[in-house]
Amino acid sequence: MGNLFTHIKKLFSPIPKVKSLNGMHGLEKADVLFHNLVAEKKVPGFVVTILNKGEIVLQKGYGFSNLEEKLKVDPKQTVFRIASISKCITGLTLGKMVEDGILNLDESFYTYVPYYPKKKYDFTLRQLATHTAGIRSYRGKEFALNQDFSIKDSISVFKDDPLLFEPGKGYLYNSFDFVLLSLAMQEASGVLFQDYVRETILMPLGLKNTVSPKENIVSSSGVENQAQFYTKRALCFTEATQVNNNYKLAAGGYMSTCEDVVKLGQAILEQKLLKKETYDQLLTSQMVKDEPTYYGLGFQVSQDSQGRPFVGHVGSNVGAYTNLFVYPEQEKVIAILINCTDPKIQNELDLAINAIFEEDV
């Protein structure tokens, strides 16, 4: 009971008051909207970094990385789960492997993973990367597995299940697609997935604080910078259930700082590392039955609440909710990392993002 009362005390302890938006515009309004999410006890803590034409226009932490210790979040140092933003990293890695001739997007998955149980239909790496392969999504509490699976061992969870539809004839967003994709990438390269990603994507882009769950990031003073992860309850925030996301690193397992995530977004905006034609493939929405899926290869290719085109990803995981929006037309990049299981605040985030664009009016 003591732990619960601690959380209740934190939730109702003095926090900066809700601020009014009267007379405010642009970034100032966005800053207040972000501030109020903590003041209204909607999230324990989060970080935001916004770039405009490559320049930082807002980089700030709100609330706490650890409620018990009253540790404030730091957009440069606090390490969060980035959830499905991980898929963007995987998409870039997939593009690099294609350019290097290691694999072919339109080759059968079985070419690279012949031991996977045969299904009624064949499916390709492209179909896995675009969520059109027919692989099922989570059942029950599979999203919160806490077993130390390798990527190869983890397929035991779903490998014997049938495809839900003929590949290419449907769309179902899920994480198991990317587990299989990372397995094929690992088998094709002969290198552990996380090692290949680190050497070809993370290190070249300078993403030194982007790591797998098994790696610890510590500050120069030797203190671990990982945020505590929470779940919102009716009256308090409780520590999120323990999970092990290492097996689904490609789908939603990476951890990072907001500074690294916005750097990733800027690299995508500038189309670094890969050829233009590769980016064209990654960032083009797939079509299924003549309708867009609003998903490319590891990237959402969609529009925000005001109809502005963006690429990137929204992510949701145990103890994490994230946004990475890259706006090619306006040359803006917005990264938001929250240390709480889906807090149901995307509408509020959208209002703040819209306020950011008022600077251009």
The answer to whether 18 touches 40, Cβ cutoff 8 Å, is: yes
Element (H, E) at 355: helix 346-357
The beta-strand segments (E) located in the chain are 45-52, 55-66, 71-72, 80-81, 230-232, 237-239, 255-256, 287-288, 291-292, 300-303, 309-317, 320-327, 332-338
Q: What pLDDT is recorded for position 358?
A: 85
Q: What pLDDT is recorded for position 361?
A: 54
Tens-digit pLDDT profile for residues 219-276: 444 446 899 999 999 888 999 999 999 999 999 999 999 999 999 999 999 999 999 9
Tens-digit pLDDT profile for residues 11-32: 334 445 655 555 557 899 999 9
Q: Using CA of residue 35, residue 36, residue 40, residue 43, what is the dihedral sign?
A: negative
The beta-strand segments (E) located in 97-225 are none
- Tokens representing residue 2 in the block: 């003591």
Q: What pLDDT is recorded for position 118?
A: 97
Ordered per-residue pLDDT tens for the chain, 361 residues? 334 333 333 333 444 565 555 555 789 999 999 999 999 999 999 999 999 999 999 999 999 999 999 999 999 999 999 999 999 999 999 999 999 999 999 999 999 999 999 999 999 999 999 999 999 999 999 998 989 999 999 999 999 999 999 999 999 999 999 999 999 999 999 999 999 999 999 999 999 999 998 876 554 444 468 999 999 998 889 999 999 999 999 999 999 999 999 999 999 999 999 999 999 999 999 999 999 999 999 999 999 999 999 999 999 999 999 999 999 999 999 999 999 999 999 999 999 999 999 876 5
Alpha-carbon span 348 to 357, nearest angstrom: 15
Q: Which residues contact 153 (CB under 8 A, 6 or more apart)?
A: 247
Q: What single letter denotes the amino acid at residue 274? A: L
